[in-house]
Structure 1
Amino acid sequence: MSLKIECLDVGKSYAGDGVTTNAVQHINLSFSKGEFTSIVGPSGSGKSTLLSLIGTLDSPTSGKILYDGEEIVKKNKKAISDFRFEHIGFIFQQFHLLPTLTALENVLSPLFARKVPYNKIERAKEVLEQVGLSDKENSLPSQLSGGQQQRIAIARAIVHKPDWLLADEPTGNLDTETGERIFDLIQELNQQEGCGVFFVTHDPKLAVKANRMITMKDGMVLSDKKGEFA
């Protein structure tokens, strides 16, 4: 179980054509499992980069990120992959469902090559029920609405019960009403499962529903507020 994430003077830069771009810089933040954190800011402010770093999809060029005091990205690729599988679930703006697989098979896909201490099909059906789509388990993505596809993607993200759920603009391709339902579902999972949630969004109406809101600009944290904003 991963209970705490610490970002210690974290920076990420990219070099190209003789120019260095600082995607994020001087990030000092800590997060506790169970928190629901929204991350807001204009395009290019570093929100998605920060999420990729926290999710171990990328590594910092300066500073370090600790998970319960351990620097996971210093380990070998298999250890990083195993950590990510055990502790982190991802939800993206694009649903990334495999078009030739049914809803149930898409939810199962992270488990295909893994040994787990539970029945994979039973677990997949359980999380489909959690997201309200038990009746769609045999449907292909093309037979589902955008909101339903995102629910399948959420079920896939939580199938191994992650400690942290990282959502990068998960409502960006949805209409307002559907987006609010997706937010409510993620909030419900946060409360029921106790997972920490990082919710990157451009929608201020959703951002203020979190119990912590981080505002970014030009790769830096402008503010970090806790409490009720709504």
Structure 2
Amino acid sequence: MQIQLENLVPVPLKDKILQRSSDVWNRQISFTPSKFIKIKAPSGTGKTTLVHYLYHVRTDYTGQVLVNGKAWTAYSKAAIADMRQTQVSVVFQDLRIFEQLTALENIELKRVMGGQPYCTAEKVTEMASRLNITHVLNQSGKTLSYGERQRVAILRALVQPFQWLLMDEPFSHLDDENAHRAAQLITEECKARHAGFILTDLDDDTRFAYDIHYNL
């Protein structure tokens, strides 16, 4: 799955963005499949906005986001839904945990969405153990701490097939040990699938062996 940006500029941030230098906005960029990509983004420069554009939940921009050479806006709703189930997964900054469901039910939504589960229930249990969240799997989403929600959202993103994993500040509420555990699991899963990720964050970090760095 090839992703390209063609002079992409968010309309709400246009005046602010065009006054500063960016490696991403208003540029022509091609994200190479299977690469680990870090986008360092100071507050207010559109980090979350970019993830929303890449996942096509917002379209308030000029320029284009191209997927396999075709603009997101040219795809049908059914085609976009299929790509979200099989080619691109996401960890939103606001996590989007369904509070009326248990942690496990939140995870299962993605695992069984395509009809044929991508990984086994045993694999889910194994990954939950590695992320230190086995003890909360049967708790409702509303009872989880933010750090627990973050790890549930990461696991939910990993239980579906993908070629690209989009992550917006995925470790912001995790201590070093749990962030390290999550980064290890993400690395292993991406490499096993020959998949890449695009991670946006405020700071530099050494949790991954990034192939490319951009400044937003």
TM over 0.5: yes
Would the alpha carbon gap of residues 92 and 106 (structure 1) be closer, same or farther in structure 2, given more than 3 Å must change?
same
Q: Which amino acid aligns with 1:104?
A: L
2:127 is aligned to 130
Q: How many residues align?
A: 208
Of 5, 27, 47, the match for 1:7? 5
Q: Any idea what the Cα deviations from partners look like across 1:11-57, whole Å, max 9, x if unmatched?
A: 22139xxx966587413211122111011021112222222111112
Using the alignment, how far apart are the partners of 1:185 and 1:206 within structure 2?
15
1:164 is aligned to 164
Using the alignment, how far apart are the partners of 1:183 and 1:8 within structure 2?
30
1:36 is aligned to 36
Q: Any idea what the Cα deviations from partners look like across 1:176-206, whole Å, max 9, x if unmatched?
A: 3333332333222222222210111123124
Q: Which runs of 5+ in 1 are unaligned?
A: 217-230
**CA contact under 8 A between 2:53 and 2:59: conserved in structure 1?**
yes
Task: Report the identity percentage.
Answer: 28
**CA contact under 8 A between 1:7 and 1:65: conserved in structure 2?**
yes
Q: Which runs of 5+ in 2 are unaligned?
A: 19-23
1:197 is aligned to 197
CA RMSD of aligned residues (A): 3.0
**CA contact under 8 A between 2:85 and 2:161: conserved in structure 1?**
no
2:185 is aligned to 185
2:21 is aligned to none
Q: Which amino acid aligns with 1:11?
A: V
State the 1:106 CA deviation: 0.8
1:64 is aligned to 64
Using the alignment, how far apart are the partners of 2:80 and 2:17 within structure 1?
24
2:89 is aligned to 89
Give the structure with the higher percent strand. 1
Using the alignment, how far apart are the partners of 1:148 and 1:12 within structure 2?
32
State the 1:152 CA deviation: 2.0
Would the alpha carbon gap of residues 13 and 130 (structure 1) be closer, same or farther in structure 2, given more than 3 Å must change?
same
**CA contact under 8 A between 1:127 and 1:158: conserved in structure 2?**
no
Structure with more contact order per residue of length (Cα contacts < 8 Å, sep ≥ 6): 2
